[in-house]
């Protein structure tokens, strides 16, 4: 059995406040060894101006955000997915939205950079989003094989692009940190996550931002764990808090044997 844990947060523009919130949530949640703990997108700084992320961007392998997460992984002997936080790029005017996986020994196991930029118009209080203005898009598909299973990493808007998940090949758990808007979440969140779970025949754990943030942006929450059959294993609809579920990765094998979708697929990605 694998313990999946999602932290649903209402992050603020204050990094120290958000790091303290993660520490508190984990200390109160009886995190079992070898759990997979997932933080939401922009967990360390959210609700300010996008450009403000540049001021807290860290170099890979350095900085208080990475040090804090590594220390928590060691303390609880668990795997931690960092949601996203800003990491420096060669361009001083842009950062990458890094989604890193830390192992129980505190080591960095994987580093995914969000590929798809949220440059859209939404009928909400914010109206227009232009993520690419200050965020450099990633280009690499990232999966990592661990003792608890093969994990695929994606972030928020990525969920709308099924080619990314085809390129991941076989994975046991899809991890999706997010900060879905209230409007788009109401319309598409559950449908997209269930589609990915069903087509990949894998478990999905999605950790979301929730509520109204300092800049007026409203996020949807509804952190969820889904089964490879697309069933809801556990969900936290509203409010800050921790979602926990224990799943049997071996459940995938029966589903894959009965319905060998990957073998039947005639339109495989060139990445596979």
Catalytic residue among 88, 114, 136, 194: 114
CA distance 101 to 81: 5
Contact 171, 152 (CB under 8 A): yes
Catalytic residue among 42, 78, 99, 156: 156
Nearest to 158 by CA among 114, 188, 128: 114
Dihedral, CA of residue 259, residue 178, residue 85 and residue 114, to nearest 10: 50
Catalytic residue among 41, 78, 194, 200: 41
Reply yes or no on whether 78 is catalytic: no
Reply yes or no on whether 42 is catalytic: no
Residue 92 neighbours by CB under 8 Å, 6+ apart: 54
Contact 203, 249 (CB under 8 A): yes
Reply yes or no on whether 41 is catalytic: yes
CA distance 126 to 194: 27
Q: Which residues are catalytic?
A: 41, 114, 156
């Amino acid at each position: 059995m694998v313990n999946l844990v999602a932290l649903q947060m209402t992050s603020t523009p204050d990094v120290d406040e958000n790091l303290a919130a993660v520490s508190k949530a984990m200390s109160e949640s009886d995190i079992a060894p070898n759990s997979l703990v997932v933080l939401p997108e922009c967990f360390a700084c959210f609700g300010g101006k996008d450009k403000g992320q540049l001021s807290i961007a860290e170099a890979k392998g350095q900085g208080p955000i990475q040090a804090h997460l590594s220390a928590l992984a060691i303390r609880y002997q668990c795997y931690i997915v960092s949601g996203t936080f800003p990491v420096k790029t060669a361009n001083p005017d842009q950062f990458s939205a890094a989604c890193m996986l830390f192992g129980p020994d505190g080591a960095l196991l994987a580093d995914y950079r969000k590929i798809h930029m949220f440059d859209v118009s939404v009928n909400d209080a914010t109206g227009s989003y232009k993520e690419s203005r200050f965020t450099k898009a990633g280009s690499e598909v990232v999966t990592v094989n661990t003792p608890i299973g093969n994990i695929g990493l994606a972030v928020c808007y990525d969920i709308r692009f099924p080619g990314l998940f085809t390129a991941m090949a076989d994975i046991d758990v899809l991890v999706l940190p997010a900060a879905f808007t209230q409007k788009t979440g109401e319309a598409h969140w559950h449908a997209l996550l269930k589609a990915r779970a069903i087509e990949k025949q894998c478990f999905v754990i999605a950790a979301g931002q929730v509520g109204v943030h300092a800049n007026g942006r409203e996020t949807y929450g509804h952190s969820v764990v889904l089964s490879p059959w697309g069933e809801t294993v556990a969900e936290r609809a509203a409010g800050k808090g921790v979602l926990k579920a224990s799943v049997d990765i071996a459940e995938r094998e029966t589903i894959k044997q009965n319905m060998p979708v990957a073998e039947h697929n005639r339109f495989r990605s060139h990445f596979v």
